Amino acid sequence: MSDLPASIAVYYHQRTKYDPKTIATKNKGLDWSKQPTPFKEYKIGKSYELIAYSSKKSSITSHSSYWHRLSRLCGCSYGLTAKIPTIGSPMYLRATPSAGGLYPAEVYLISKGTPWLPAGLYSYQPQNHSLLHFWDDNVWENLETACLYHQALESAEIVVVTTAIFYRSSWRYEDRAYRRICLDTGHLLGNIELACAMTNYRPHLIGGFVDNLINKIFYFNPKEEGVISVIALSDLSNDNKNLKNIGPTALPSIIKTNYSQVSDGELLGYFHQATEIKEPDINKVQEMISQDSFVEDKYNFPFCLKVSMLTTPIIWGNNFNLLEKTIFKRRSTRAYTGEELTLDELKGLLHFTYQSQDYVHQGFDPNPDYFDINLIETFVVVSGVKGLESGCYYYAPKAQELRQIRFKNFRKELHYLCLGQNLGRDAGAIIFHTTELKKAVEKYGDRVYRYLHLDAGHLGQKLNLAAIHLQLGVSGIGGFFDDQVNEVLGIPEDEAVIYITTIGRPRYQSIS
């Protein structure tokens, strides 16, 4: 076993890379007879219909106002946005993008008990926009234990829990699917952040929980479905106006080194269980809480071209009406025209995604929760932006500037790196999210692999929405030749590529 990497997160990342020499042999084709269903159904439970409270006109009494907020929160987070006829069952699109339209995430609510929402477990049913109360016992104490008595639970009456049904994604993407599951859940977290701003809640991300205990609350078979994130909601319409971050969003797991070689098709489940928290290191937890969150921009290349990205905020309308419309009309773009973007459009995309403090006057949270956004670096490859030289740039979010690291038009190379997808060739700009994986593991253990992809998906969803609002095309790409990206673009070799978001002029929309 001495030839194996020290960390199973590093091992998983290396083993699930796409390589041009081997990718053809790994493509086994899909067994359509085993295609997973995108909806989870329960045979028993009490249904609370949300559709009647979708209209703003319903918000007259305290009761109807409460349900209108929940309806808007659920619908803008993970609701259905379109129905596409097919030869068989129709395909339903949702408020978040999902690789292959597979939607591996499920959304649950846990109520502490309110005048309108009795204590217990609820499943959000997007196909009919309802909450199904499938377990009516008060499980809040069990939740507190599983979440290690996180402070955010003290001020919350409702918690949103996102889970993953692993087979929905692994059916198509096999062991690499874990990357896509976490990216897709990150898209969902981005929507939840914004939907909470619309509905006067403050979401507190909780990524550090005892997996076995929280899965038991839902009676999951952990080989089939597992909790990925917990979001405690503080109701800002009460007395919680001044709430800030409460407690750590991320806690470390162990660094697993005593692992065995695992067969293809079994690595995803093995890796997920290896990143579980069983008994947290209390000293490490205290260290996380006391750390200074401010981190300087990582790269400042000598003598490089620097381009200011300062700009004015995107306007999202009265009561977030333009944001809500954008969420429901968002689609992943299938093809670009190859036409240029403007520099102002690129500035607007990056500004909305990274500069939350400039949107507080519109009602957004100036400091939204991520698991550890300081571990994520952003590189922008420019192929067609008016007023900006082609090349690869590092985006410095603190300084709000692009710093050029390579001078070249990479359209041909991007087409290759993105597995021959024309999206890579025809996009005006492509945004790469990366991390120094080994150092990230040193900080959070192997569980950091979840956090990194969740945060990258979260950022990617904000890029999605900004692009659609600006009438641009956008599509995330989770499949690429990992190692070749660094080599071709000049990105430091220690940076592991996590996610790619392409931006361009849309030719037509796709279905995801």
pLDDT for 304-358, tens place per residue? 999 999 999 999 999 999 999 999 999 999 999 999 999 999 999 999 999 999 9
Query: Looking at the structure, do residues 284 and 313 belong to the same domain, yes or no?
Result: no
Cβ atoms within 10 Å, residue 507: 15
pLDDT for 471-492, tens place per residue? 999 999 999 999 999 999 999 9
Q: Would 298 be classed as within a structural domain?
A: no
- Per-residue pLDDT at 57: 60
Count of domains for the chain: 2
Q: Percent of the chain at pLDDT above 70?
A: 92
Q: Would 79 be classed as within a structural domain?
A: yes
Query: Looking at the structure, do residues 374 and 313 belong to the same domain, yes or no?
Result: yes
- Residue 232: which pLDDT band, with cuts at 50, 70 and 90? very high
Query: Looking at the structure, do residues 42 and 119 belong to the same domain, yes or no?
Result: yes
Query: Looking at the structure, do residues 193 and 56 belong to the same domain, yes or no?
Result: yes
Query: Looking at the structure, do residues 376 and 466 belong to the same domain, yes or no?
Result: yes
Q: Quote the tokens at residue 268.
A: 């995803």
Domain that holds residue 76: 32-254+269-290
- Per-residue pLDDT at 281: 63
Q: Would 2 be classed as within a structural domain?
A: no
- Per-residue pLDDT at 279: 78
Query: Looking at the structure, do residues 165 and 221 belong to the same domain, yes or no?
Result: yes
Query: Looking at the structure, do residues 400 and 275 belong to the same domain, yes or no?
Result: no
Query: Looking at the structure, do residues 97 and 205 belong to the same domain, yes or no?
Result: yes
CATH of the domain at 284: 3.40.109.10
Q: In terms of C-beta distances under 8 Å and separation of at least 24 residues, what long-range contacts does 307-312 make, across chains too?
A: 307/388, 307/393, 307/401, 307/402, 307/404, 308/400, 308/401, 309/346, 309/347, 309/350, 309/351, 309/395, 309/400, 309/401, 309/402, 310/347, 310/400, 311/344, 311/347, 311/348, 311/351
Q: Would 375 be classed as within a structural domain?
A: yes
Query: Looking at the structure, do residues 206 and 326 belong to the same domain, yes or no?
Result: no
Q: Would 123 be classed as within a structural domain?
A: yes
Query: Looking at the structure, do residues 61 and 162 belong to the same domain, yes or no?
Result: yes
Q: Mean pLDDT, to the nearest integer, of 444-455?
A: 97
Q: Percent of the chain at pLDDT above 90?
A: 83
Q: Would 497 be classed as within a structural domain?
A: yes
Q: Would 20 be classed as within a structural domain?
A: no
Q: Mean pLDDT, to the nearest integer, of 388-401?
A: 97
Query: Looking at the structure, do residues 340 and 283 belong to the same domain, yes or no?
Result: no
Please give the Cα distance from 419 to 446 (Å, whole number): 28
- Per-residue pLDDT at 87: 80
Q: Would 7 be classed as within a structural domain?
A: no
Query: Looking at the structure, do residues 201 and 342 belong to the same domain, yes or no?
Result: no
Q: Mean pLDDT, to the nearest integer, of 360-368?
A: 97
- Per-residue pLDDT at 1: 37
pLDDT for 5-23, tens place per residue? 579 999 999 999 999 988 8
Cβ atoms within 10 Å, residue 26: 12
